[in-house]
Structure 1
Amino acid sequence: MAQTQLLNRQVARDMRDIEKMPVVPLKHRGRWVAAAVMILVAAGLCMSMVTNPRFQWDVVAKYMFDPSILSGLLTTVWLTIAAMTIGIVLGTLVALMRMSQNPVLESIANGYLWIFRGTPLLVQLIFWFNLSALYPQITVGFPIGPNLGTFDANTYITVYVAALLGLGLNEGAYMSEIVRSGLKSVPTGQSEAAEALGMSSFRVMFRVILPQAMKIIIPPTGNQLIGMLKTTSLVSVIALEELLYSAQLIYTANFQTIPLLIVASIWYLVLTTVLTIFQHYLERHFGRSDRRSVQSVAPCDDAPTAKGV
């Protein structure tokens, strides 16, 4: 017993000596050198952009708030929101169809993914824009039975409708995989426990599974939203006057190609920054339960410690 006490006192003295030793931080010389090199490169690029007269910053400032540019900007914003809304709703429906026990629904969902993920979006946009070449008259009805109406394709499939069909249907195929992965991440015990309490399948999905899956769904959906914002520039091939096409119309007339492209790029960067901030706060909102669980299990400094027997 005496030897044990002596050993414990010696260990305590050694620990106090160690605590009194000065702490010398590591010198990350390579990290500082790399940072200095990157700062020099960034400063050189910024200096070249400011001093190079070919950037024509005066022309950029002149067209930043041009009515045509602002009109194209509004078209880009509403097209992004509308296409993503279609994609999210359709993607959720297709994800539920793929997870269904009904083989017909599952086959239809797989066929939809096979078509819209297997062909380029640019081809789909051009296809929808030229749909009247295949179907001049669109008939709504049943294969055997009465028709509900016939519509002229050239009248109703405008550039706006073609853009929404191309962007929305293509986005729905990718969103379905994001939603399906989020739903699959929720343990099956959650749904089993809810069903044991007498909840319907609909309430189990929207009250138990989907709120937990949102933590998995939100980050890639934010990426898809930012990607959709930039993908809307593809509709310029069907002459829809969004942001890029509006800039193209101006520089086709005045031959100021680079300044107008810089104007469009600046507005894309502004919108992307706004969406990134919105995604950050949305992720924080759905991640509140994780922060609360971490705080609840965090050890308290003044909590009593158990003594050995």
Structure 2
Amino acid sequence: MTDNLPPLREVVAAHGLAAKKSLGQNFLFDLNLTGKIARAAGPLEEATILEIGPGPGGLTRALLTQGAKKVIAVERDERCLVALAEISAHYPGRLEVVCADALGLDYPAFLSQRGVEGPLRICANLPYNIGTPLLAGWLTEKDWPPFYERMVLMFQREVAERIVATPGERADYGRLGVLAGWRCEARILFDVPPAAFTPPPKITSSVVELRPRAKPLECAGKALEAVTLAAFGQRRKMLRQSLKSLPLPIDPLELLQSAGIEPTKRAEEVEIAGFCALARAYAKKTGLV
């Protein structure tokens, strides 16, 4: 499908939109790939899509071409707003562009202010420098089920592998794998080679799908973030030592005993259920939710 808008390379050249490394930008011009990502988030006819970091709008155009009912695009780079406005004019009422820092938004409130009712989908070629903290925030939303029904996101391949990792894959298993596995079913859909981007990054990228679990294990999200950050921050050490770095200090041996975890274990040896038990114990001791 085509949208009869100028080729994206021409749009970028016309508006002088050279990708900025400081913003983690790598523009995706390949229409086959943007279409493939959009279809992975489908069917789109009745869907509202949240897109973070649209840049000049390559994926945005694909989502609209594939029939998305509405796209809400959050873009920090003011240089891209003119190009996105041209897309909005081409699809009246179907694209809303918000110039904001995606890391600073309260997403449920942000979407409620725009009249978005019920869950939506997040589909984005995330800027490399904010992808991980954005995902961590979405995975630890206080209310569950969350404001989204599915996420289709692009990350660096090594980050994607950490998101889907399990305890049996010790090299990749870490904080992201625990957070994602706790509340979502995650899988890598396909890879995107460096040559597909402008400028081409030095690494391969991967598109990941995350679907929220209806009933994740009971756990306080902020507490889980804290214990996994401490545990994997010094992953070669036993938990009785690494947990000493928790932001709200507590006796690690007492905490591990409460969670039923051997103090000589290392973080990579603990299942997601074990980390949830650890987070519950930490929340009970500290009040962290």
Q: Normalised by the shorter chain, which TM-score bucket? A: under 0.3
Instruction: Give the TM-score of the pair, scaled to structure 2.
Output: 0.22
Structure with greater proportional helix content: 1
Structure ranking higher on relative contact order (CA contacts 8 Å, 6+ apart): 1
Structure with greater proportional strand content: 2
Which protein has the larger Cα radius of gyration, Structure 1 or Structure 2? 1
Instruction: Give the TM-score of the pair, scaled to structure 1.
Output: 0.20
